[in-house]
Amino acid sequence: MDKKLENNSKSNHIYSLDVLRVILCLMVLFFHAVGHKAWIVAKTSIFWHREFSAGALYMDGFFMLSGFVLYFLYSIKDFSNISILKDFYVKRFIRIYPIYIVHTIIWCIFYHKFNLIILPSILLGISAFYPPLFNKMGIGGTWFISVILFAYLLFPILVYLIKFFEKHIYKFLTFLYLLIIYTNIIGANWHINKFAIYINPVYRVLTFIVGMCIASIFIKNKEQESRFLNTKSCILFALLLIIVPVLYKNNFFNHVPFGKNWTYYSCVTIPLFGLLIYHLSKIKNGLFNVIGKNCVIQHFAKVSLCFYLAQSYSITVFKNYIKCSNSLSIFIIFILTYLFACILHYAFEKPATKYFTTIYNQYKQKLNQ
């Protein structure tokens, strides 16, 4: 980020959204722990097993939050300016690509798996476009990177699209919502494998755009007074963390084929996440703002990208070397994931971002001389 944008992002930081960011990270970790049978004790508890078996549903929130934050930060930028456009792509690339490559290298060493045929799709960040590769070379843990890179590629165009529909943003939002539902109807009708939709970047970018729309509505109504924001946010959190898992575990969509496909529940999660992100973003004081400013939450939010990537290491280490089956298992998995995330962040992500940013800034200075 340039200095102006960096200062702007710090002064306009929405701390309450960091609470959601952290909860999404944890729900995905717990889902993987249950799904990979690392957290065996969960199966003896109906409540916890129900809660964390539905963790995959919360990726809608991850992409919506990403779209919201990016639009909130960059909507004022004029992407018709080549210099600004180049800055955006380089800065976003530096932010995510080096740690993605480091993770891939570590994964290949860690699991002793390497495939030259698959490698180009990983290096280009397009592996999620090929669902059969999901369990190859760690792609199962990095498919979301493909989605984010694809969203970054389209983002400048999407900004103009949102602004074009700004006066009719609710109609456009409704269209996106119906398009997402229609995609899942096609998937159900044609018995499409759940991963073919779940990790598909084109499908996932739709939820990213929904987040951008929510940001547009927020910016327009930013100064408008709202009441009971913390209370409303608590209710929405409860619906997402309790009611949605109940619907999923009881196979609410059992009248359609493959009724446990995660994306079928987007018709429920997307409106709830949209309302939650909007209400959280308007909170200036109160419970969620205080929690979001907590140093632990801030640190966790800072390493959140690496936390997603580190899950594959921690669960594998736990299953192969610890094999604990009591109530401490999820605590151990969490600690391992957090430690691996900190190592990735401080040993690779942060230094790489600083290094490549410095090189890019020096390059720009030479051009301006």
Task: Read off the tokens for 235.
Answer: 């209710």
Q: Do 58 and 22 meet the contact criterion of CB atoms below 8 Å apart?
A: no
pLDDT, one tens digit for every residue, the chain (369 residues): 445 444 455 567 999 999 999 999 999 998 888 776 655 544 445 566 666 777 888 999 999 999 999 999 999 999 999 999 999 999 999 999 999 999 988 888 877 666 778 888 888 889 889 887 777 656 567 899 999 999 999 999 999 999 999 999 999 999 999 999 999 888 877 777 778 889 999 999 999 999 999 999 999 998 887 889 999 999 999 999 888 888 887 776 655 554 457 888 899 999 999 999 999 999 988 899 999 999 999 999 999 999 999 998 888 888 888 766 666 788 888 999 999 999 999 999 999 999 999 999 999 998 887
The DSSP symbol for 83 reads H
All structural domains of the chain with their residue ranges: 3-368
One-letter-per-residue 3-state SS of 36-51: CCCCHHHHHCHHHHHH
Amino acid at 14: I
Among residues 208, 220, 212, the alpha carbon closest in space to that of 160 is found at 212
Model confidence, pTM: 0.91
- 138: alpha, beta or left? (left if phi > 0; alpha if psi -120 to 50): left
Count Cα neighbours of 186 within 13 Å in the Cβ-side half-sphere: 9
